[in-house]
Structure 1
Amino acid sequence: MPAIDDLVLFTQIIEHGSFSKVAELNNITKSVVSKRISKLETSLGLQLIYRTTRKLTLTEPGEVLYHRAKSISNIAQTAFDSVTGYSEALSGKIRMSVPSISGELVLANAVSTFCQKHPGLTVDMSLNNHFVDLVADNYDLVIRTGYLEDSSLIARHIFNSRWVICASPTYFEQHGIPETPKALNSHNCLGYNPQSSGPFEWQFIRQNKIYTHKVSGNFSSDNAAALKKAALAGNGIAYLPTCLVYDELQQGKLIEVLAAHAGKVVGIYAVYPYTRKPAKRIQALIEHIRESYMEIKEQF
Structure 2
Amino acid sequence: MLANDLILFSQVIELGSFSKAAEVNNLTNSVVSKRIARLEAELGVQLLYRTTRKLTPTEAGRILAVGAKNVSQATTDAVNTVSGLGEQISGHIKMSVPTISGELLLAGAVAEFCNLHPGLTVDMSMDNRFVDLINEGYDLVIRTGHLNDSSLIARHLIDSQWVVCVAPAYLAKNGTPKTPEDLIHYNCLQYAYQTTGANEWAFKTEHRNYSVQVRGSFSTNNASALRKAVLGSHGIAYLPRCLVYPDLCCGDLLELFPQHVAKRLGVYAVYPYTKQPSNKIKMLVEHIKQHYLSMSHYFC
Place the TM-score, normalised by the shorter chain, in its bin. 0.7 to 0.9
> 1:154 — aligned with what?
153
SS at match of 1:183: helix
Deviation at 1:249, TM superposition (A): 1.7
2:54 to 58, 61, 67: 61
> 2:261 — aligned with what?
262
Deviations 1:121-176 (A, max 9, x none): 11110111111011111111100011111111111100011111111122111111
Contact 1:178 1:258 in 2 (8 A): no
SS at match of 2:266: strand
Contact 1:190 1:218 in 2 (8 A): yes
SS at match of 1:150: coil
Contact 2:9 2:36 in 1 (8 A): no
> 1:30 — aligned with what?
none
SS at match of 1:199: coil
Contact 1:161 1:241 in 2 (8 A): yes
Taking the aligned partners of 2:183 and 2:263, their CA distance within structure 1 comes to: 16
> 1:199 — aligned with what?
198
Length-normalised TM-score, structure 2? 0.77
> 1:36 — aligned with what?
28
Matches within 5 A, 1:159-170: 159-170=158-169
Taking the aligned partners of 2:14 and 2:210, their CA distance within structure 1 comes to: 43
Query: Structure 1 residues 43, 128: CA separation in 2 closer, same or farther (over 3 Å shift)?
Result: closer
Query: Which residue identity is paired with 2:270?
Result: V
Query: Which residue identity is paired with 1:113?
Result: E
Deviation at 1:250, TM superposition (A): 2.1
Deviation at 1:238, TM superposition (A): 0.6
> 2:49 — aligned with what?
none
Structure 1 gaps, min length 5: 27-32, 46-58
Q: Does 1:185 align with 2:180?
A: no
> 2:234 — aligned with what?
235
> 2:222 — aligned with what?
223
Query: Which residue identity is paired with 2:28?
Result: R
Length-normalised TM-score, structure 1? 0.77
Q: Does 1:249 align with 2:248?
A: yes
Taking the aligned partners of 2:106 and 2:157, their CA distance within structure 1 comes to: 12
Taking the aligned partners of 2:203 and 2:214, their CA distance within structure 1 comes to: 12
Taking the aligned partners of 1:9 and 1:272, their CA distance within structure 2 comes to: 32
Q: Does 1:141 align with 2:140?
A: yes
Contact 1:166 1:256 in 2 (8 A): yes
Contact 1:192 1:223 in 2 (8 A): yes
Q: Does 1:294 align with 2:296?
A: no
Contact 1:83 1:287 in 2 (8 A): no
Query: Structure 1 residues 84, 151: CA separation in 2 closer, same or farther (over 3 Å shift)?
Result: farther
Query: Which residue identity is paired with 2:213?
Result: K
Contact 1:10 1:37 in 2 (8 A): no
Taking the aligned partners of 2:254 and 2:34, their CA distance within structure 1 comes to: 61
Taking the aligned partners of 2:173 and 2:212, their CA distance within structure 1 comes to: 23
Taking the aligned partners of 2:230 and 2:287, their CA distance within structure 1 comes to: 33
Contact 1:6 1:36 in 2 (8 A): no
Query: Structure 1 residues 83, 234: CA separation in 2 closer, same or farther (over 3 Å shift)?
Result: same
Query: Which residue identity is paired with 1:61?
Result: K
SS at match of 2:28: helix
Query: Which residue identity is paired with 1:264?
Result: K
Taking the aligned partners of 2:182 and 2:217, their CA distance within structure 1 comes to: 17
Taking the aligned partners of 1:133 and 1:94, their CA distance within structure 2 comes to: 15
Query: Which residue identity is paired with 1:210?
Result: N
Contact 1:163 1:239 in 2 (8 A): yes
Matches within 5 A, 1:47-196: 61=54, 75=73, 80-196=79-195
Contact 1:100 1:128 in 2 (8 A): yes
Query: Which residue identity is paired with 1:298?
Result: H
Q: Which moved more, 1:76-85 or 1:277-286?
A: 76-85
CA RMSD of aligned residues (A): 3.3
Deviations 1:223-247 (A, max 9, x none): 1111101111111101111111112
Deviations 1:177-196 (A, max 9, x none): 11100110100111112211
